[in-house]
Structure 1
Amino acid sequence: MSEKDSLNSGDDDEPPEGIQTQYDWSSTEPSAAVVETTARATNCDHQELNPLYDSIDPDAFDAILAPPTTKNTDTTTSISFTYAGYSVTVQSNGTVNVAPV
């Protein structure tokens, strides 16, 4: 994951509107990245979140986004779903966006 995280909030007392992180799918599974980024957005431990499989099939999700499938294409695949009260969008280029619903 890179430190290209971006939090968008107006005041320090308000929760962030969203967070964006960048991952390398060859070293981090997309499903793990979603849980990690959502935990950061909610400011809680990842174990406090509901299981990801309550929202999406993690194995199928990883198979669609992770290499080598995405290395052989010039297009970007994007998957969006709701997880833990947040809108999650993950792209095959490694970008994970998490924002409150």
Structure 2
Amino acid sequence: MAESDCIATGPHHTDVSVGTEDMTVQYDISQTTPVHAIVEALCVARDEAYDELPPLHEFIDTDALNSLLQTDNDARVIFDYQGHTIAVRTDSVTVGPAV
């Protein structure tokens, strides 16, 4: 998968760190939405293009997620998606390994 296959590349994410268990993507909420940062992290973690992923809105209310994280700096949302545990904050997305 090429980085261009992901939708939140370039200046939108600032750091990607991959560990043996979790992968974390740092992002700037003033430049991208939490939902786009989640999709970016999933593209990298799953080595898939964004259009190969099932629609995120089928798993979580994406409008509510964006709204919450854009208005509450202390918010943390955790949910499961395609065997991964996703933890998202106002500045980072962590994708747990697929189980």
- TM-score, length-normalised on structure 1? 0.78
Deviation of 1:18 after TM superposition, in Å, equals 2.3
Q: Shift in Å at residue 83 of structure 1?
A: 1.2
Distance 1:40 1:99 in 2: 12
In structure 1, what residue type is equivalent to 2:69? L
User: Aligned-residue CA RMSD in angstroms?
Assistant: 1.3
Match of 2:67, SS state, is: helix
Corresponding pairs, count: 86
What residue in structure 2 maps to residue 12 of structure 1? Answer: none
1:39-54 paired onto structure 2 within 5 Å: 39-54=43-58
Q: Which has the higher helix share?
A: 2
Q: Which residue identity is paired with 2:96?
A: A
How far 1:23 moved relative to its partner? 0.8
Q: Unaligned regions of 5+ residues in structure 1, if any?
A: 10-16
SS at structure 2 position matched to 1:81: strand
Percent of pairs with identical residues: 35
Aligned to 2:84: 86
Q: Which has the larger radius of gyration?
A: 1
Q: Which runs of 5+ in 2 are unaligned?
A: 1-12
Which SS does the other structure have where 1:77 is aligned?
A: coil
C-alpha distance in structure 1 between counterparts of 2:77 and 2:96, whole Å: 14
Superposition deviation, residue 8 in structure 1: 1.6
Distance 1:22 1:45 in 2: 19
State the AA in 2 paired with 1:62. Answer: N
CA distance in 2, matches of 1:84, 1:18: 15
State the match for 1:76 in structure 2: 74
Alignment correspondent of 2:34: 30
> 2:19: which partner in 1?
8
